[in-house]
Structure 1
């Protein structure tokens, strides 16, 4: 029986760059923006920030639509 190691193995930066170049630029931009919008949704708590939260959720939904068209597993959440 095999035992799987739980120790993460670092990826050299050259390999990470090579992997990153395989993804189209607009997908990389959408992924980065989705992370920012997901973070901003968590900041907007309380009734005072309801409008800002809805705005950020709308932006997050637009970026997730782009990501889902490329890879459904890449969709970011606001949790």
Structure 2
């Protein structure tokens, strides 16, 4: 079960990360949202683009801490 954490606490924790990691977290989250919106055959290219964006951001996150990886495209 995931832990419920107030937004202020999450922001405080994220403020301790380097800039490139914070940017990667933001990009991975946005890519995950885009991936979840693209479910039809008409949005296949957008979905593939979201998967590649998520993979690119996850590469940066895994180098910093493997537990930060966003797993939206299972």
Structure 1: which 5+ residue stretches go unaligned? 1-7
Q: 2:36 aligns with which of 36, 42, 45?
A: 42
Are 1:23 and 2:17 matched, yes or no?
A: yes
The residue aligned with 2:60 is 66
Deviation at 1:54, TM superposition (A): 0.2
Q: Report the 3-state secondary structure (helix = DSSP H, G, I; strand = E; otherwise coil) of the residue aligned with 1:64.
A: helix
**4+ residue runs over 4 A deviation:** 8-11
For residue 56 of structure 1, report the CA deviation from its aligned partner: 0.7
Q: What are structure 2's unaligned runs of at least 5 residues? A: none
TM-score by length of 1: 0.74
Q: So what's the TM-score if we normalise by structure 2?
A: 0.79
Aligned length: 70
Aligned mates of 1:69, 1:35 — CA distance in 2:
17
